[in-house]
Amino acid sequence: MATVKLLSDDELSPEARAIFDDIRKTRQSEFVNNFWRALAHDPKTLGRTWESLKQVMAPGVLEPKVKEMLYVAVSIAHGCTYCIHSHTAGARAKGMTDQEYAEMVAIVGMAAETNRLVTALGVPVDDVFLIDSARGGGQDL
Amino acid sequence: MATVKLLSDDELSPEARAIFDDIRKTRQSEFVNNFWRALAHDPKTLGRTWESLKQVMAPGVLEPKVKEMLYVAVSIAHGCTYCIHSHTAGARAKGMTDQEYAEMVAIVGMAAETNRLVTALGVPVDDVFLIDSARGGGQDL
Amino acid sequence: MATVKLLSDDELSPEARAIFDDIRKTRQSEFVNNFWRALAHDPKTLGRTWESLKQVMAPGVLEPKVKEMLYVAVSIAHGCTYCIHSHTAGARAKGMTDQEYAEMVAIVGMAAETNRLVTALGVPVDDVFLIDSARGGGQDL
Amino acid sequence: MATVKLLSDDELSPEARAIFDDIRKTRQSEFVNNFWRALAHDPKTLGRTWESLKQVMAPGVLEPKVKEMLYVAVSIAHGCTYCIHSHTAGARAKGMTDQEYAEMVAIVGMAAETNRLVTALGVPVDDVFLIDSARGGGQDL
Amino acid sequence: MATVKLLSDDELSPEARAIFDDIRKTRQSEFVNNFWRALAHDPKTLGRTWESLKQVMAPGVLEPKVKEMLYVAVSIAHGCTYCIHSHTAGARAKGMTDQEYAEMVAIVGMAAETNRLVTALGVPVDDVFLIDSARGGGQDL
Amino acid sequence: MATVKLLSDDELSPEARAIFDDIRKTRQSEFVNNFWRALAHDPKTLGRTWESLKQVMAPGVLEPKVKEMLYVAVSIAHGCTYCIHSHTAGARAKGMTDQEYAEMVAIVGMAAETNRLVTALGVPVDDVFLIDSARGGGQDL
């Protein structure tokens, strides 16, 4: 039930094909998932999104599986079924255990509950949670 | 701008006071933040929420700072200013570095973008992301 | 911090003034809250919204305070601070007790938690929750 | 399309089985819906969620059907299809009439509309909607 | 997977039938889509919603296709699959080209990303973006 | 109430300074708003976001003011006060009239209402709104 046709490999424009080549090379896999096949109608957004994702999800200071779990957590809060499935699979592929998954899901649920309790009650932010602009960034809270 | 008065220590019911005592003992700090002072009007919800939070945020398989970061990510997606401030401070207190914070924020933004692109295009979930019920849980994706 | 100026009574167009007159007459109060003063730049939307609200919140089969509580619950989930404050005050004015308020807030929080747990896990709807189109409306579930 | 396998009765751990027993006993029904079968992978979250739900939805000052309707209203705003179906069925089972349902749906829609109008215009909260901390709780607004 | 039965033409009440007649006459088409068939159980909400939609989507200063695109953008952010499909089709019917669609989708994604970055960082509104109440409306920013 | 300190010009890293230079040059204005000053702690995300925004908001087939209005519409649905203010000001600067603004706000509110009505009722997508994969893209609906 898509609003655009998913493009098969032989329907790609040359620009989209070049990006698919990079996706395959980067992931070292022939498989290109539906998200990119839907975006492929617009090579500009396809390319920008792929480059941004590569930058954001590249090896950094957070573990790859933690990065995927943060991605899943946001996708749950936004109600994106596709993203939940693809990034939960991604987190598992990067080593997330069943126990880690269970802890993550519990945190997402708990955060949702306290988020709404706080919003209901209109709780003002405690001074201690504010950064002290004189100290520069709040890193030492 | 709250919908209930924040209760000071000497306005607490005995039930609420007992929970505040446990908050202070568990956190080894005299400070009790505004969220609990707003919830204190309803000792039942105060107690259940505190017990749930203790269970969910207790030491487990995920690092404490990662747990706080997942909490922040969800709070951003739900737009809860108080929760963003309190759990960002919490993550920093548990060791989140500026670089880890920067990576988390970038992931939250990126997830928001692809969540909405996917939703706009109505992308169907790839079969490969579905769990195989015969295999029991999808752990090996 | 509004995106439009709040209009005072003497800045109203004749169309907006007529609607303010009806608000005052219907509510039997001189006070007109900021929402209407912001909407007053656009008499067409002001008029349609006021007429719709009168219809939706008119005496019906649900108690007036229950109607306001449903309004608050949705406003919390949408994160609308103004609406939370105005309709919480409205529910109190229509008889919502502190205990009813506490129960409502607890339900909103709990629903938020299970909403996100369900979404995380992608739980399929049980057949028993589906309406049987042959029976016509699902009323007897 | 779940991210975990739904557990059948004979796949439950002893801890999960004990909670299913309590669900069946409390509800006086053999039927256990999919939500609990998905949560059953994590007996700790299963148990905590069930205990919380029992507390929150227990007989109180609000009518059982009103509690379910508040649950539905929040679930609509969060876009949780499963929760909308299960709690709409629950509200009907507890006596919600078609007319009450129609009024609730109309309120949810109207709240969504004014929530977004208010947010668009950035309407500041009227002083009269604020609690007077000197009076303690805002009950008499 | 609806919570109410979709009503066919011969199941309509006289009030609902009159509104369906106006929908058909206004749109100059026999086709009445499922939204109205679900709403038809409640002729009051059916009638109010149809009248409101006619007013809001009537020819005005914005192009009809732009109006539909704004409708789609909001529907994506709210995660309403039905609305995304119906209004994307509507925008196409009113002349939205593939390139315009691609630009709109890219903007929705980008807005989602910066919305969440801003919320994460708690960025305060610059004075220059505030309306100057002395000048009356901020039109000249 | 930010979670990071807003950086002044003389606190910028060389990488961030280069991006601020491009912002100033592109916009032909010395003014750099708070969003960029908050992002400046992370030059990588600052740079990527600025480049993405330049691409997405560059002159295209949609009018610049329409692009800003789509941005505002999404920001309202996500409840981002900062973004609502900055892009409403942006749309006005690009020519959005008061009447166009009023029409946009009315559409956002109406979409929110029908989004939630549709979600409440679980309305299934009509076949006519689905793209015909044989025809390739649904452009001719």
* Chains touching B, CB cut-off 8 Å, 3+ pairs: A, C, D, E, F
Which residues of C make CB contacts under 8 Å with B? Answer: 79, 81, 84-85, 88, 98, 102, 105-106, 109, 116
pLDDT at E139 over 90: no
Helices (H), chain B: 14-27, 34-39, 43-57, 64-77, 81-93, 98-121
Residues of B with CB under 8 A from a CB of C: 1, 3, 41-42, 44-45, 49, 74, 78-80
DSSP-derived 3-state class of residue E6: coil
What interhelical angle do B43-57 and A98-121 show, nearest 10? Answer: 150
Q: Which residue has the tokens 């592109």?
A: F26
pLDDT of residue E141 exceeding 50, the answer is no
The ipTM value here is 0.93
Q: Which of D124, B46, B3, C103 is nearest to A121 (CA)?
A: B3
Residue range F105-125: mean pLDDT, rounded = 98
Q: Between chains, do C49 and F109 touch, taking CB under 8 Å as contact?
A: yes
With vertex at residue D88, the alpha carbon angle to CA D86 and CA D91, rounded to the nearest 5 degrees, is: 110
Write the DSSP string, A39-66.
Answer: HTTSHHHHHHHHHHHHHHHSS-SS-HHH
Residue to test with chain A: of B3, B4, B62, most A Cβ within 10 A: B62
Q: A3: closest CA among E62, E58, E75? A: E75
E1 chain-D contacts, CB cut-off 8 A: 81, 85
Task: Kindly report the average pLDDT of chain F as a whole number.
Answer: 93
**CA-based nearest residue in chain B for residue A137:** B98
For chain E, the average pLDDT equals 93
| pLDDT tops 50 at residue A97 | yes
pLDDT cut 70: percent of chain B above it: 93
User: Shortest CB distance from E3 goes to which of D79, D88, D109?
Assistant: D88
pLDDT value at residue B131: 83
Q: Residue C5 and residue C9: Cα distance in Å, rounded? A: 13
The tokens describing A6, both together, are 């998913």
* pLDDT computed for residue A131 by the predictor: 83
Which value, to the nearest 10 degrees, does the dihedral of the CA atoms of residues D15, D16, D19, D24 take? Answer: -140
Which two three-digit tokens encode residue B33? 């933040």
Note the pLDDT of residue D132: 64
Entry pTM: 0.95
In CATH terms, A61-109 corresponds, of 3.30.70.2390, 3.40.1160.10, 1.20.1290.10, 3.40.109.10, to 1.20.1290.10
* Overall CATH class of domain D1-58: mainly alpha
Confidence grade of residue C137 (pLDDT, cut at 50, 70, 90): very low
- CA E21 – CA F81 distance, rounded (Å): 42
Would the pLDDT of C14 be above 90? yes
Mean of pLDDT values over E85-111: 98
Tokens describing residue D112: 């969504």
Q: In chain D, where are the structural domains located?
A: 1-58, 60-110
What is the least distance, in Å, from the CA of E128 to any CA of chain C?
12
In sign, the C-alpha dihedral spanning F60, F65, F66, F72 is positive
Chain C partners within 8 Å of B80 (Cβ) = 79
| Alpha carbon distance C22, C38 (integer Å) | 17
Are B85 and F3 spatial neighbours (Cβ–Cβ below 8 Å)?
yes
Mean pLDDT of chain D: 93
Tally DSSP H helices, then E strands, for chain C: 6, 0
Amino acid found at E20: F
Q: State the architecture of F61-120 in CATH terms.
A: Up-down Bundle (1.20)
How far is the alpha carbon of A59 from chain D, nearest alpha carbon, in Å? 26
Is the pLDDT at A138 greater than 50? The verdict is no
Chain F nearest-CA distance from E2, in A, is 4
Q: B81-93 and E98-121 helices cross at what angle (nearest 10)?
A: 60
**pLDDT tens by residue, C33-92:** 999 999 999 999 999 999 999 999 999 999 999 999 999 999 999 999 999 999 999 999
Question: Contact F5/A138, CB-based, under 8 Å?
Answer: yes
Q: Would you say residue E2 has pLDDT above 90?
A: no
pLDDT class of F22 with cuts at 50, 70, 90: very high
Q: For B60-118, give the CATH class.
A: mainly alpha
Query: Would you state the CATH architecture of domain C60-120?
Result: Up-down Bundle (1.20)
pLDDT above 70 for A133: no
Topology match between the domains F1-58 and F61-120:
yes
Please determine, for residue A139, whether its predicted confidence score (pLDDT) is greater than 60.
no
The closest of E45, A115, C98, C23 to B83, measured between CA atoms, is A115
Candidate CATH numbers 1.20.1290.10, 1.20.58.1030, 3.40.50.9100, 3.30.200.20; the one for domain D60-110: 1.20.1290.10
